[in-house]
Structure 1
Amino acid sequence: MQVIEFVIAYGPWAWVVAGLVLLALELVAPGGILVWMGISAVVTGLIALFQAPPWPVQWLIFGVLSLVSIFVWLRWSKDRKETSDRPLLNRRAEQLAGQEAVLDQPISHGFGRVVLGDTVWRVSGPDLPVGQRVRITGSQGNVLTVEPVSG
């Protein structure tokens, strides 16, 4: 009951304080939902400050603003394509495409191994002997696909 007494005592400022609390909670638990509820609460407080509608109408304003803003944000963020200046970040196998390496273990029955830097990679391709120079053409998960380098 203390919350209701606080809201009645401070009126529109209770909405602003609640909005700021929701915005602060968004920093602790990010997800995007609380920010829109916080903004809706602040807007409801500003409306209540200048118009002073009854409490049920204020809750209706808050609810509608929250639902509409969250719905719009979810639709917009779902349709938005994320672009990156480093699209292969955290895709080590895909970054290796086009590089050449020497087989450390022969490819037999479709699989072998190469050493690139400090990592041993499993490779797939045609059967080839140890020491054969290969070019990485792509990857399937953590298995690099290779082809022999001629010449």
Structure 2
Amino acid sequence: MQVIEFIASYGPWAWIVAGIILLALELVAPGGYLLWMGVAAVITGLFSLFQPLDWPIEWLIFGVLSLVTITAWVRFNRNRPSQTDRPYLNRRADRFVGHEAELEQAIHDGFGRMVLGDTVWRVSGPDLPAGRRVRVIGHDGAVLQVEPIEGSASERLR
């Protein structure tokens, strides 16, 4: 009961101070939830500063504002794409889509090999001879899918 009496005696200022404490706690334990609860507490304090309300109504406003702001933050944060300076860090095969190279080993029965970067990759595609230039069009796990490049130098020599 002393907490309720304390909040009732200081009124709106108790909400503002509690909001500032929650905002400060967000610095210590980041995660976003305390941030939005602190914002809700400060808004509740400012609202009750200009419009005196009973403490149950103030708690209702605080609870509703907390739920609304946290829900909005979670939905926004979930749909936001992650930004990174290395988007293909753990997706090496994606990095090579669109690259062109020569086949190291002929594609026979749908599979062959080629060198890209510092790795020998298994490739799949139509049967092609070794040395033929191909373009990576996709991948299936660690197997790169390739297609022949029309009009390549080796094609013109034939």
Matching residue of 1:137: 137
Q: Distance in 1 between matches of 2:17 and 2:60?
A: 18
Q: In structure 1, what is the equivalent of residue 46 of structure 2?
A: 46
CA displacement at 1:48 relative to structure 2? 2.8
What fraction of aligned residue pairs are identical, expressed as a percent?
Answer: 60
Structure 2 unaligned spans of 5+: none
The reply to whether residue 149 of structure 1 matches residue 153 of structure 2 is no
Answer with 106-115 or 55-64: which moved more. 106-115
- Give secondary structure in 1 for the equivalent of 2:146: strand
Q: With the length of structure 2 as denominator, give the TM-score of the two structures.
A: 0.67
Alignment correspondent of 1:22: 22
Q: Output the CA distance in 2 between the equivalents of 1:128 and 1:64.
A: 66
Take 1:42 and 1:119, find their aligned partners in 2: how far apart are those partners?
57
Indicate the residue corresponding to 2:87 in structure 1: 89
- Residue 63 of structure 1 aligns to a residue whose secondary structure is helix
TM-score computed with the length of structure 1 as normaliser? 0.69
**1:126-147 deviation per Cα after TM superposition (whole angstroms, max 9, x unaligned):** 2334433221122234432101
Q: CA deviation at 1:125?
A: 1.1
- Kept in 1, the 8 Å contact 2:8–2:55? The answer is no
**CA-based RMSD:** 3.5
Which entry has the higher C-alpha Rg, 1 or 2? 2
Maintained 8 Å contact 2:107/2:127: yes
**Gap change, CA 1:112 and 1:38, over 3 Å in 2:** farther
Cα deviation for residue 92 of structure 1 reads 4.2
The answer on 1:117 being equivalent to 2:136 is: no
The total of aligned residue pairs comes to 147
Counterparts in 2 of 1:146 and 1:44: CA distance versus 1, 3 Å = same
TM-aligned CA deviation for residue 5 of structure 1: 6.4
Distance 1:21 1:114, change over 3 A: farther
- Distance of aligned partners of 1:81 and 1:47 in 2 relative to their CA distance in 1, 3 Å threshold: closer
Deviation at 1:119, TM superposition (A): 3.2
- Unpaired runs of 5+ residues, structure 1, are none
Q: Determine helix, strand or coil for the equivalent of 1:102.
A: strand
Q: Distance in 2 between matches of 1:21 and 1:48?
A: 18
Counterpart AA for 1:58: E
Whole-Å separation in 1 of the counterparts to 2:120 and 2:25: 45
